Amino acid sequence: MKLRGLYAITDSQLLAGKFLAYVEAALEGGVTLLQYRDKSSDEARRLREAEALRNLCERYKTQLIINDDAELAARLGVGVHLGQTDGPLAPVRALLGHKAIVGATCHASLALAEQAASEGATYVAFGRFFNSNTKPGAPSANLELLEQAHIKLHIPVCAIGGITLENAAPLVAHGVDLLAVVHGLFGADSSAEVTRRARAFNELLQIK
């Protein structure tokens, strides 16, 4: 699957009180993948918010991905992102079907990425590349890894962790297909600034 562009990830604390407004502002600027990332156990709210995001994504022709929760993804007919402690990938691929987007966290490991690809991952995510407000304790990754991934893997490569408009260019130069961003996109003071940032990320990736 050819996936390239901005991968916007929601954060329930950062987006409190402006959740849909800021997400729509990002979609307005151009988002290839939108991930619903909510670490709470409030099932009813999670379903409500994920359904609202699915409706928005349909309007903007953006693909919705649910973090961690394959059952919710199956219920909504959308994709999922799985980390190394979120369970095996192959049964989730079987549950969601061959067309669904299934992403996998691979930290800084090419071996994990090759395994994920062999189990049916649509894309692999490496990180974190910079200091992250959202997940400061995530293991770190470096640019050389991206070059090797670009050569060895035949699926899209995603970078995550502390990515901003100021530091993203080297990631793109090293072959990244997807820039996954929370704070560098949604940490803006206004929805107009979210849209401006989304457009600027797309320009970096040379996406119109």
The CA distance from 6 to 185, in Å, is 10
Residues that bind Mg ion (CB under 5 A): 68, 83, 86
Asked if 4 interacts with ligand 3NM (CB under 6 A), we say no
Query: Which residue number, 29 or 103, has a Cβ lying nearer to ligand LCLJCK34?
Result: 103
The CA distance from 127 to 90, in Å, is 22
Query: Which residue number, 29 or 162, has a Cβ lying nearer to Mg ion?
Result: 162
The CA distance from 190 to 22, in Å, is 8
Residues 62-81 touching ligand LCLJCK34, rule: CB under 6 A, are: 67-68, 81
Interaction mask 97-116, ligand 3NM, x per CB under 6 A: --------x-----------
Which residue stretches of the chain are H helix?
Answer: 19-29, 43-60, 70-76, 89-96, 110-118, 143-152, 169-173, 183-186, 191-204
Nearest of 36, 28, 27 to residue 9 by alpha carbon: 36
- Among residues 70, 158, 163, 182, the one that binds ligand LCLJCK34 under rule CB under 6 A: 158
In the numeric block, which tokens belong to residue 4?
């390239």
Interaction mask 138-167, ligand 3NM, x per CB under 6 A: x---------------------xxxx----
Point out which residues pair with 124 in neighbouring strands. Answer: 104, 157
Please report, as ranges, the residues that interact with ligand 3NM according to CB under 6 A. 105, 127-128, 132-135, 138, 160-163, 181-184
What residues are designated binding site for Mg(2+)? Answer: 68, 86
